[in-house]
Structure 1
Amino acid sequence: MSVDVRKIYSEVFASRLTRFELARIIGARALQLSLGAPTLIDVASLPIKDPVAVAIYELLKTSLPMSIRRRIEDGKYELIPVGKLITTDIRKYLSTILETWNISSRV
């Protein structure tokens, strides 16, 4: 990689989750919940009790104790907490998913 490409990557992608990381986090947490892991939020007030929806709610509340492992320039890795990588765009996207989920479950 040239220096310019690395600079663009570090400015644009290093401070947010990619769609692949987002899918992996939600999928991994939903699997944990479906296998009986305790929830990190109060699910009594949630309209949907599906493990994927609960995982999305937990991610929106930034209560997941997960980290993303990313490679840095030296060939070493750094661990970044998931809560620091959630942007307003990701929040809007996940909220839209939950809203459409609520609408489709009523039909």
Structure 2
Amino acid sequence: MDMESALAALSALSQSTRLDIFRLLVRHEPDGLPAGDVARHLDIPQNTISTHLAILSRAGLLTSRRHSRLIIYRASLARLRALMVFLVRDCCASSPELCAPLLANLVSCCPATESCP
């Protein structure tokens, strides 16, 4: 991931509603959710959900697919992984022990039997 892509992703996530949407969709992997369900889960007005989803999609954080008349949105775990790697890439350059707590937290939230970002 380059600086421009990282900034686009971080900018998209820097708004509370969009962060809530992204976290909700991460929890609903791998199936994803239609826009209407996202709006209902988070009590977001229908007239604003498409704007938030479009911003997250343009930043590469969401993917979508048509299923009949619905558009199903999913979190892009590959993009999340790339962003996390970009943010911590230099963390362990000379002191790997600095990253040990971070890695322990990631492992504890994603047991080996689950698909992790």
Q: Report the TM range for the smaller structure's normalisation.
A: under 0.3
Q: TM-score, normalised by structure 2?
A: 0.25
Q: TM-score, normalised by structure 1?
A: 0.26
